[in-house]
Amino acid sequence: MTAAPNLALPPRVRFPGISSAAFEHPSDRAALEALRRTPGLDRLLKWLSDMGAERYLRVKFTADSIRVSPRQCSRLYNDLREACAILDVKEPELYLSQYPVPNAFAFGMQRHTIVMTTSLVDLLSETERLEVIGHELGHIKAEHMLYTQMAFLLADILSMAAGTITIPGAILTNGLIMALYTWIRKSELTADRAGLLTVQDPNICVSGLLKLVGGSQKLMDDLNPDEFTRQADLYEDMDEDLMSLYYKLMLLRFQTHPFPAVRARELTEWSRSDQYLRLLRGDYPRVETDQGRRTCAACSAIVTNVTFRFCPECGGILDPVTRD
């Protein structure tokens, strides 16, 4: 009798010591640099951090969600462990929250935390779920936590105060809010790349996005990823008149994520790039070779992003980068 062929998938590549610079999207970097040039913004974010928004969220999810562990939802915990091993990220806390809308997000500067909703877990396959965890770890790895968490809080505060400020102040306020949301959308492209590095199959990433945007259980086997990515081209072709551009601006100005079809095309194109292939071969920037590494005096976190003036873990002021 002939032995059955071994159809097991090869093990996923791991990236020990990988720096977030290896998968950072250029638009993310450019938008964040533009945001940091806003006078006084870093001091404002530090003040908001001290208000304790993270402690509020931690109390909420500890009291009203399931904390995933080796003894609680162990399969989901194993996904977390695998994703952390692939991206070389310290294991964050993971919570499962009952909610009818599929969603996942990360928060926390003192303790990183990922939250996934039950509807997301029910909607996605095991590998798609792994990609989502890798996506959220990408936010953590790229040190998005301070700016993302504080951007949402700042946007809420500025929105509530909009009716009490002058017209020039309202213009400046709306401009800052739009700049914050612009960066948040760009940061998702970086996190998408981290998700792809976790599962190492662009089809899984696109199929997950397909389900999020139109995930009917009865049509799961009839979704076409190629047709979906072509929608991004159709979307861009709608720039031919001012009215369409205006509608796009209105749709995007307070949106936290790029449109799914655009994200799918971005990921597909990056998966074919030399940069991605070099990553899979182990050719990538590593944390230990980064220039400008600093240690936060307040919490001892290692900060490798040379543009940061405040610690992404605790918000403490960092020493300036010493340049040779």
In a domain, residue 51? The reply is yes
Q: Which residue has the tokens 């590494």?
A: 293
Asked if residue 4 belongs to a domain, the reply is no
Say if 7 falls within a structural domain: no
Q: CB neighbours of 44 closer than 8 A, spacing ≥ 6? A: 154
Helix (H) or strand (E) holding 186: helix 167-199
Q: Is 143 a catalytic site residue? A: no
Q: Are residues 280 and 299 in the same domain?
A: no
- Please name which of 107, 103, 120, 92 lies closest in space to residue 58, comparing C-alpha atoms: 107
pLDDT computed for residue 4 by the predictor: 47
Whether 231 and 99 share a structural domain: yes
Is the CA virtual torsion 147, 148, 151, 153 positive or negative? negative
Q: Based on C-alpha coordinates, what's the Rg of the chain? A: 21
Cα 126 to chain centroid distance, Å, stands at 19
- Which pLDDT value is given to residue 222? 84
Q: Does residue 305 share a domain with residue 220?
A: no
Confidence at residue 323, expressed as pLDDT on a 0 to 100 scale: 40
pLDDT at position 6 is 46
Residues 182 and 303 reside in one and the same domain: no
State the residue range of the domain holding 252: 21-285
119 and 249, same domain (yes or no): yes
Q: What is the pLDDT of residue 128?
A: 96
- Give a yes or no: residue 149 inside a domain: yes
Q: Is residue 46 part of a domain?
A: yes
Are residues 310 and 210 both part of a single domain? no
Q: What is the reported pLDDT for 173?
A: 64
Residue 114 Cα to chain centre, angstroms: 11
In a domain, 121, yes or no: yes
179 and 278 in a single domain? The answer is: yes
d(CA 93, CA 115): 8
Closest CA to 146 of 56, 46, 61, 55: 46
The reported pLDDT for the residue numbered 287 is 81
CB distance 256 to 184 below 8 Å? yes
Distance CA 173, CA 129 (A): 37
- For β-strands 302-303 and 113-117, DSSP reports them as unpaired
User: Do 34 and 81 fall within a single domain?
Assistant: yes
Strand ranges inside the chain, DSSP E: 66-67, 93-97, 104-107, 113-117, 294-295, 302-303
Residues 305, 214: one domain? no
8 A C-beta contact, residue 94 and residue 67: yes
Are 73 and 161 members of one domain? yes
- pLDDT tens string, the chain, 324 residues long: the values are 444 444 556 789 999 999 999 999 999 988 877 777 777 676 776 676 666 777 888 899 999 999 999 999 999 999 999 999 999 999 999 999 999 999 999 988 778 999 999 999 999 999 999 999 999 999 999 988 877 877 777 767 766 665 665 555 555 666 777 778 888 999 999 999 999 999 999 999 999 999 998 877 777 788 888 888 889 888 888 877 788 888 888 888 778 899 999 999 999 999 999 999 999 999 998 886 555 577 888 888 877 665 567 777 777 788 776 543
Measure the CA–CA gap between 129 and 192, rounded to whole angstroms: 13
Residue 314 placed within a domain: yes
Residue 1 within a domain: no
- The Cα–Cα gap between 184 and 191 comes to 11
Of the listed 136, 143, 266, 313, which one is catalytic? 136
Asked if residue 254 and residue 307 are part of one domain, the reply reads no
Same domain, 57 and 112: yes
- Give the tokens for residue 70: 């080796």
Give the predicted TM-score (pTM) of the model.
0.82
Q: How many domains is the chain partitioned into structurally?
A: 2
